[in-house]
């Protein structure tokens, strides 16, 4: 079967200034040209682990750490995914052989997934990264584009962060629990999840109320320091459940989907963050989907210099489309916001949210008159920015009528590819 190499070395730098641990939902990481998000074919994802230790952890302790980080995803009852360690790798991967091993992985010749324990950061250095700022990485390294399935993957854990040395600028250290949490995020990538933006004020504002922090997903582009111990949020659970739905997921939860449209009510708008919030707990129970996330980032825009991206559908009906499933029954609002694209920590490239930021390296600004656009049906040009509809979502319900969000106050027809300047 034809296999395609992926090219995303999603590295995890550390942000001391924010006391955040960035890594390397509701969004898929890769989408094939039929508009189908990539996932592992089987609901049991298997992996092999390295020989040797990890920082001050023995090999057996490292295996437990990895298994427990995978288990966080396996524990979601609306998702059908489990993990199985098949055994040890044939050799201990270290600074001496990591480059050869990386070639093997890049050429899709490794089995399933390989989890590498870099005892002291020397393998990270051998790969050309700074061992004091790169926690490790995880990537699905090869796909079968026709079937939309991952075929090979790997993760590397940098044991220097948990070698027992005191934390200092020259030797960054984490607790084992913090380290494990960072790899819950990384393993999210390994099984097909992209980044999600919920409550971005927790990154950009000085203050972040605790209920806001509770809503920041594990798949946020930067793992905020105080959320390191937090578990998966509704956004994370929705994202993994959409990729690996349990048999009763669609019957036990609800779904909201539609399009983001410019003010003419017809032209679809790519690359905006759609957030569904629970009326009961709007800050902590929220799920996102990037408009047009299934569509390719580089088709149709003559201003974009990249052509031939192997990812994303070419079906124009998917431009501006959002899709949020796995919602517990209840009342919800729907809102549209820009994706954070500037400042110190923009959601671009490896830290990207949605295909525009990831592949094109910018994010669209919010056009129109509302900095946050709420779904209000029927929409009228005279609506206020706080006017909104409350959607009642029942178990098994798929709300896809009257769910388009019209961005008020943009030009009557708007070039869907302009950036709002």
28 DSSP β-pair partners:
193
Residue number with CB closer to Zn ion (358 or 383): 358
CA dihedral 4, 7, 322, 383 (to 10 degrees): -150
CB of residue 190 to Zn ion, shortest distance in Å: 10
Sole window of 17-25, 142-150, 176-184, 249-257 interacting with Zn ion (rule: CB under 5 A):
17-25
Residue number with CB closer to Zn ion (161 or 262): 161
Residue number with CB closer to Zn ion (24 or 134): 24
Tell me the Cα Rg of the chain: 21
Say whether residue 134 binds Zn ion (CB under 5 A): no
Instruction: Please give the full DSSP string across 91-134, using - where no structure is assigned.
Output: S---TTTHHHHHHHHHTT-S-SEEEEEESSSHHHHHTTS-TTT-
Sole window of 15-23, 102-110, 294-302, 307-315 interacting with Zn ion (rule: CB under 5 A):
15-23
Tell me how many residues contact Zn ion (CB under 5 A).
2
First-to-last C-alpha distance (Å) of the chain: 45
What would the x/- binding string for Zn ion be over residues 21 to 40, using CB under 5 A?
--xx----------------
CB of residue 188 to Zn ion, shortest distance in Å: 7
Residue 253 to residue 265: CA distance in whole angstroms: 29
Residue 113 to residue 111: CA distance in whole angstroms: 6
SS (H, E, C) 190-231: HCCECCCCCCCHHHHCCCCCHHHHHHCCCCCCEEEHHHCCCC
Residue number with CB closer to Zn ion (336 or 348): 348
CB of residue 189 to Zn ion, shortest distance in Å: 6
Say whether residue 139 binds Zn ion (CB under 5 A): no
Residue number with CB closer to Zn ion (24 or 155): 24
CB of residue 179 to Zn ion, shortest distance in Å: 15
Residue 194 to residue 136: CA distance in whole angstroms: 17
Backbone angles phi, psi at 64, to 5 degrees: -65, -40
CB of residue 380 to Zn ion, shortest distance in Å: 40
Residue number with CB closer to Zn ion (9 or 409): 9
Sole window of 18-26, 155-163, 316-324, 326-334 interacting with Zn ion (rule: CB under 5 A):
18-26
Both tokens assigned to 334:
């729907």
CB of residue 222 to Zn ion, shortest distance in Å: 8
CB of residue 136 to Zn ion, shortest distance in Å: 11
Given the structure tokens 């994303």, which residue do they identify? 312
Backbone angles phi, psi at 76, to 5 degrees: -75, 125
Residue number with CB closer to Zn ion (23 or 297): 23
- Per the document, the length of the chain is 421
Residue number with CB closer to Zn ion (333 or 351): 351
Looking at beta carbons, which residue is closest to Zn ion?
A: 23
Residue 118 to residue 277: CA distance in whole angstroms: 40
CB of residue 10 to Zn ion, shortest distance in Å: 6
Q: Residues interacting with Zn ion, by CB under 5 A? A: 23-24
């Amino acid at each position: 079967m034809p296999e395609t190499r992926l090219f995303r070395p999603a590295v995890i730098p550390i942000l001391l200034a924010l006391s955040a641990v960035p890594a390397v939902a509701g969004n898929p990481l890769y989408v094939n040209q039929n508009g189908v998000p990539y996932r592992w074919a089987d609901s049991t994802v298997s992996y092999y682990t390295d020989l040797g230790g990890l920082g001050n952890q023995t090999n057996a302790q490292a295996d437990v750490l990895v298994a427990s980080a995978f288990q966080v995803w396996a524990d979601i009852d609306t998702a059908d995914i489990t993990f199985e360690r098949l055994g040890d790798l044939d050799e201990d991967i270290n600074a001496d052989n990591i480059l050869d091993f990386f070639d093997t992985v890049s050429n899709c010749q490794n089995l399933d997934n390989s989890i590498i324990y870099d005892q002291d950061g020397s393998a990270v250095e051998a790969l050309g990264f700074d061992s004091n700022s790169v926690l490790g990485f995880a990537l699905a390294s090869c796909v079968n584009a026709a079937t939309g399935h991952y075929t090979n993957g790997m993760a590397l854990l940098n044991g220097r962060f948990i070698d027992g040395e005191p934390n200092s600028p020259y030797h960054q250290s984490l607790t084992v629990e913090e380290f494990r949490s960072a790899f819950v995020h990384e393993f999210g990538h390994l099984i097909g999840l992209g980044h999600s933006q919920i409550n971005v004020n927790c990154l950009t504002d000085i203050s972040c109320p605790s209920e806001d922090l509770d809503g920041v997903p594990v798949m946020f582009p930067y793992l905020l320091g105080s959320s390191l111990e937090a578990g998966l949020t509704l956004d994370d659970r929705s994202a993994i459940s959409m990729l690996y739905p349990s048999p009763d997921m669609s019957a036990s939860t609800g779904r909201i989907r539609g399009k983001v449209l410019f003010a003419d009510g017809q032209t679809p708008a790519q690359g905006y963050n759609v957030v569904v919030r629970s009326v009961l707990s709007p800050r902590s129970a929220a799920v996102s989907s990037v408009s047009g996330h299934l569509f390719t980032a580089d088709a149709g825009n003559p201003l974009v210099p990249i052509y031939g991206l192997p990812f994303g559908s070419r079906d124009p009906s998917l431009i501006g489309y959002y899709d949020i499933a796995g919602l517990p029954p209840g009342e919800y609002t729907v809102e549209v916001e820009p994706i954070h694209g500037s400042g110190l920590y923009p959601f671009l490239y490896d830290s990207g949210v949605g295909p525009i930021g990831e592949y094109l390296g910018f994010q669209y600004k919010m056009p129109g008159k509302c900095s946050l656009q709420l779904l209000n049906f029927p929409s009228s040009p005279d609506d206020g920015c706080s006017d909104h509809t409350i959607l009642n979502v029942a178990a098994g319900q798929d709300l896809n009528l009257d769910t388009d969000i019209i961005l008020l106050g943009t030009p009557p027809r708007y070039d869907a590819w302009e950036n709002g300047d």
